[in-house]
Amino acid sequence: MAQTGFHGQKFKELLRLQDMPSSLTTRSLRGGEIAATETRDDNPTPGLCGEVIPEDAYIVSLKLRDYPDCEYWERGKCVGKPNIRAGTTYLYDMKYNPRFVIEKPFHSLHFYVPAVALNGIAEQSGIRRLGQLDCQFGTGFRDEVVHHIGTALLVGLRRPSEANQLFIDHMMLALTAHVAQAYGGLRNAEAVGGGLAPWQAKRACERLASDLSGKFTLQEIAAELDLSVSHFSRAFRTSVGLPPHQWLLRQRISAAKQLMSVRELPLAEIAISTGFANQSHFTRVFSAAVGVSPAVWRREMLGVSEGDT
């Protein structure tokens, strides 16, 4: 199937990267692809980067490394040389064919956000569509929301086998909504309130719990309830008290605890059975959630000494 969004191979070609960059993708409310791609090159090929095929979409770029005097081009000509600082966010309008002169090592996390995804968010707020985003070429923002979401997704980008699709969907939806509100004129829009009907909450929880690996997407579950992704995500949290990916994480931890009551079951087998990529992944997540490692928790629960396990 042909790639539809701007990520992976397209960034490799644009920046002339030696290796394929890691990307995470999800689907927007209207089916458009949203993607996050980490790009890094400590020994880049110098020169003006490749061209972007103009489209009605934006790149939200979180810079992870300083890049002084970055020669920035739009529509075939240089328009500025901003001093890029790590931790700042830049917005690029893909209709203007944004390009860069590469002459120093770089490291960034780029979010590809098509206008169709932003307009889906606008519709949920009672607005037909958004206007132009406030990109302001050459101006970086210290955007703590983008920084937080980017930092959270970097873990999944670097350990793709451990990336939970529900978590990816939730983070991408949050990023799109934030961009629409902060840079697209939805600053004063009020979110639609209200939770799920009891039968909807029950069905959603059953659907999530039926596959602890989290392979189901928010879009699939929302579609079963005849709801938009943003409405479902918001209503689920209102009704259940947690976002879907966090609720599922609790179920995985609970299931793992039950299995650990059987002394003969190896932790590696329990990890796979409860939806974790491997024992190392299970140990990291369990320790962060519970405060002790699975091995320590099991010893304390079974009341045995370390030498008996």
- The residue ranking higher by pLDDT, 143 or 309, is 143
Q: 26-30, 242-246, 271-275: lowest mean pLDDT where?
A: 26-30
Separation CA 49–CA 102 (nearest Å): 6
Tell me what pLDDT residue 94 has: 93
H or E element in which residue 106 lies:
strand 106-114
Tell me what pLDDT residue 48 has: 95
- Residue 38's pLDDT band (cuts 50, 70, 90): very high
Average pLDDT over residues 100-128: 86
What does each C-alpha distance from 197 to 64, 92, 202, 236, 245 come to in angstroms?
43, 40, 9, 10, 19
- Residue 6's pLDDT band (cuts 50, 70, 90): very high
Tell me what pLDDT residue 191 has: 45
Tokens, residue 233: 């995500």
3-state secondary structure of 219: helix
- Residue 30's pLDDT band (cuts 50, 70, 90): low
Q: What is the pLDDT of residues 119-150, one digit of tens each?
A: 887 776 666 566 677 777 667 888 999 999 99
- Residue 34's pLDDT band (cuts 50, 70, 90): very high
Residue pair 80/135 in contact by the 8 Å Cβ criterion: no
Residue 308 has pLDDT above 70, yes or no: no
CATH 2.60.120.10 fits 9-183, yes or no: yes
Q: What is the pLDDT of residues 41-90, one digit of tens each?
A: 999 999 999 999 999 999 999 999 999 999 999 999 998 899 999 999 99
Where does 125-263 have alpha helices with state H?
144-158, 165-183, 198-209, 218-224, 229-240, 244-260
Tokens, residue 221: 């579950």
Tell me what pLDDT residue 106 has: 96
- The residue ranking higher by pLDDT, 8 or 131, is 8
Average pLDDT over residues 162-175: 88
What are the two backbone dihedrals, phi and then psi, of residue 188, each rounded to the nearest 5 degrees? -105, 5
Where does the chain have alpha helices with state H?
9-15, 115-124, 144-158, 165-183, 198-209, 218-224, 229-240, 244-260, 267-273, 279-290, 294-302
Quote the mean pLDDT of the chain: 85
Tell me what pLDDT residue 294 has: 92
Domain ranges of the chain: 9-183, 208-309
Tell me what pLDDT residue 309 has: 45
Q: Which CATH architecture does the domain made up of 208-309 adopt?
A: Orthogonal Bundle (1.10)
The overall longest dimension of the chain from CA atoms, in Å, is 71
| DSSP type of residue 214 | -
3-state secondary structure of 57: strand
Tell me what pLDDT residue 87 has: 94
Residue 161 has pLDDT above 60, yes or no: yes
